[in-house]
Amino acid sequence: MSVTLDELDLALLSALRTYPRAGALELSRQLKIARATVSARLRRMEESGVITGYGPDVDLGRAGYPVQAFVTLEIAQGALEQIAQELEEIPGVVEAYATTGTGDVLCRIAAASHDDLQAILLLLNHSTAIDRSTSVIALTTVVPHRVMPLLAQPRERPASRAPAFRPEPG
């Protein structure tokens, strides 16, 4: 289900990105709106799947996994379900996406060393469903994962129905 986010929703998401440990009371103080409004908005965004979790963001490099690579897999026709199951069994696969183009699946791999990365790549190549794999090692993060610039870009948004909320002039 797609949800249309208004200015208050964006302000809440932005405040949560800045202060991820803030509770509803603190968020209501920051945004100058009722705590019940904050709670209701957060619940709506959680139930609709816009907010997918509150876990900590983890820097894999600082957590002991400084080697990261992107691996493109070309898989056998109809083997996506098998590959998904196999990838989930490999702890170093931190995310994977079915894609269009020459590759079928794009994986992000994290490893403690180049030797560990090679072991994961060799493990992937043992799969009977993978026809070919191509990997590139990430050197540095140029733009970290982010969503707020996309969500906050100018577009037609409904007005907030929270009477006390006044968006920052922007």
Q: Which domain holds residue 26?
A: 7-56
Q: What pLDDT shows up at residue 122?
A: 96
Domain assignment present for 94:
yes
**How many domains does the chain divide into?**
2
Question: Quick one: angle between helices 7-18 and 24-31, nearest 10?
Answer: 120
CA distance 141 to 66: 11
Domain assignment present for 86:
yes
Q: What pLDDT shows up at residue 152?
A: 86
Token pair recorded at residue 55: 């876990």
Per-residue pLDDT of the chain (170 residues; tens, 9 = 90+): 678 899 999 999 999 999 999 999 999 999 999 999 999 999 999 999 999 988 888 999 999 999 999 999 999 999 999 999 999 999 999 999 999 998 999 999 999 999 999 999 999 999 999 999 999 999 999 999 999 999 888 877 666 666 666 666 65
Assign residue 13 the CATH number of its domain: 1.10.10.10
Angle (CA) 145-48-11 rounded to 5° is 55
- What is the CB neighbour count within 10 angstroms for residue 28? 19
Task: Clarify whether residues 71 and 126 are in a common domain.
Answer: yes
3-state secondary structure of 112: coil
CA distance 160 to 23: 21
Domain assignment present for 157:
no
Q: What pLDDT shows up at residue 154?
A: 80
Task: Clarify whether residues 91 and 48 are in a common domain.
Answer: no
pTM: 0.80
Domain assignment present for 154:
no
Assign residue 129 the CATH number of its domain: 3.30.70.920
Q: What pLDDT shows up at residue 57?
A: 85
Domain assignment present for 108:
yes
